[in-house]
Amino acid sequence: MSATAEVMPTTDAAYYEADSPVVIDCDVQKVFYGDFLAVRDSRVPIEKGKITGFIGPSGCGKSTVLRSLNRMNDLIPSFHLQGAIKYHGLDIYGKNVDPVMVRRYIGMVFQQPNPFSMSIFDNVAFGLRLNRFKGDVEEKVQKALEAAALWKEVKDKLKNSGLSLSGGQQQRLCIARAVATEPDVLLMDEPCSALDPIATRQVEELMLELKKHYTVALVTHNMQQAMRVADTTAFFGVDISKGGRTGYLVEMGETRQIFEQPKEELTQQYVAGEFS
């Protein structure tokens, strides 16, 4: 972490020009928790049909930014955001916007598998029932479980509790739950951090499959994972120059460019594994 301290933050990170339609134009100027400035100056456009990876050392605010994208941070009372996050051009922090609606279109998969204490089927059907889906729930559930590559393992025990599954299966169940309603965007907050390597590999394959139909934003602590799955990568750094720990976007670009020809020295040091 010492490396971050010495490098003065670049205030004007090269703004990444997206060449495909931007689904979420995330322009975070400042994020506060109470008086604590957690993130500043991060403009991260999330493009349609791509996986956008968020990488960076711990405490760099990558999860905070991700959680701002569907207003999950609203659960923390002291949270306060300056800037705009535009979803199809509409600022989701706008005055009349209902955070509940935002979360129905921008789904989320969390760090820890968090299935509900109900059956596997009910877990996946949860969102459908929530949205008062009028069609064939069973078919949708099966499709979602297939999409999450879990169908074969659970098709004979759909009535079992979601909690009876293994960690990797639980996480795929949570993915199935998130995709069952076919949201527009899927946010994944270190979805593999609680999983073993085999389960991680399965989830990664799944992400590559998902991006055919969904826009995905992925926070990962694992650089190899970003290299393997992300199309675009945003690298966040930590600025401790003013006494606090403030995260900010250092640079963003095609994944290959970020890892092979980074524009910033800090990025270079990070991808070379000089600090984490």
Partner 1 sequence: MSELATPSASASASAKIPRLERQAWERRTLTNRFLTLLTWLVAILGSVPLFSVIFMLVSEGGARLDWEAITALPPAGFDMGGGFGNAIIGTLVMVAIASLISVPLGILAAIYLAVLGPASKLASASRFVAKTLTGFPSILAGVFTYAILVVNFGYSALAGGVALSVLMLPTVILAAEEAMKQVPQKMVDAAYGMGCTPTQVIWKVVLPTGAPGILTGVMLAVAGAAGESAPLLFTALFSNYYLESLMEPTASLSILIYNFSAMPFDNQIQLAWAASLVLVLIVLVFNILARLVSRPKF
Partner 2 sequence: MSANPFKDKASPHSASAPPSAADYWADSLFRKLAMTCAGLIIALLAYILLEIGSQAMPAISEYGIGFVGGTTWDGSRDEFGVLPEIWGTLYSSILALIIGGIMGVTIAIFLTQEFLSQKVATVFRLIVELLAAIPSVVYGLWGIYVLIPMLRPVAGWLHTHFDFIPLFSTDLSGPGLAPAALVLAIMILPTVAAISVDALKRIPYKVKEAAYGMGTTRWEAILKVMLPTASSGILAALVLGFGRALGETMALAMLIGNSNQINLSLFAPANTLASLLASSFPEAGDLEIRALMYAAIVLLLLTFVVNVMGLAIQQYTMRKFEGKK
The one among 31, 147, 230, 271 contacting partner 1 by CB under 8 A: 147
Check: CB of residue 245 under 8 Å from CB of residue 229: no
The reply to whether 164 sits near partner 2 by the rule CB under 8 A is yes
The reply to whether 103 sits near partner 2 by the rule CB under 8 A is yes
The reply to whether 214 sits near partner 2 by the rule CB under 8 A is no
Specify the residue, 80 or 104, whose C-beta has the smaller distance to partner 2: 104
Count of CA atoms in the C-beta half-sphere (13 A) of 127 = 24
Give the span between the Cα atoms of 137 and 239, in whole angstroms.
48
Give the span between the Cα atoms of 86 and 90, in whole angstroms.
5
Helix 167-180 to helix 137-147 angle (10° resolution) is 130
Do strands 106-109 and 215-219 pair parallel, antiparallel, or not at all (unpaired)? unpaired
Q: Report the nearest approach of partner 2 to the CB of residue 70 (Å).
A: 7
Check: CB of residue 243 under 8 Å from CB of residue 61: no
Stretch that binds partner 1, among 2-10, 141-149, 162-170, 260-268 (CB under 8 A): 141-149
DSSP string, 249-272: EEEEEEHHHHHHS-SSHHHHHHHT
Site residues for partner 1, window 173-212 (CB under 8 A)?
A: 179-184, 205-206, 209-210, 212
Q: Report the nearest approach of partner 1 to the CB of residue 186 (Å).
A: 11
Which distant-in-sequence residues (6+ apart) come within 8 Å of 156 by Cβ? none
Which distant-in-sequence residues (6+ apart) come within 8 Å of 239 by Cβ? 4, 9, 40, 245, 246, 247, 248
Using CB under 8 A as the criterion, what x/- string covers residues 22-61 for binding partner 1? ----------------------------------------
The reply to whether 29 sits near partner 2 by the rule CB under 8 A is no
Q: Report the nearest approach of partner 1 to the CB of residue 99 (Å).
A: 9
The one among 115, 237, 247, 253 contacting partner 2 by CB under 8 A: 115
The reply to whether 107 sits near partner 2 by the rule CB under 8 A is yes
Give the span between the Cα atoms of 121 and 157, in whole angstroms.
9
Place of tokens 């209902």: 98
Q: Which of 245, 199, 207 is nearest to 38 (CA)?
A: 245
The reply to whether 77 sits near partner 1 by the rule CB under 8 A is no
| Chain positions contacting partner 1, by CB under 8 A | 87-90, 92, 94, 96-98, 100-102, 104-105, 127-128, 131, 133, 135, 140, 143-144, 146-147, 149, 151, 179-184, 205-206, 209-210, 212-214
What is the contact surface with partner 2 in residues (CB under 8 A)?
Answer: 70, 72, 75, 100-105, 107-108, 110, 112, 114-118, 126-127, 129-131, 161, 163-164, 174, 177-178, 181
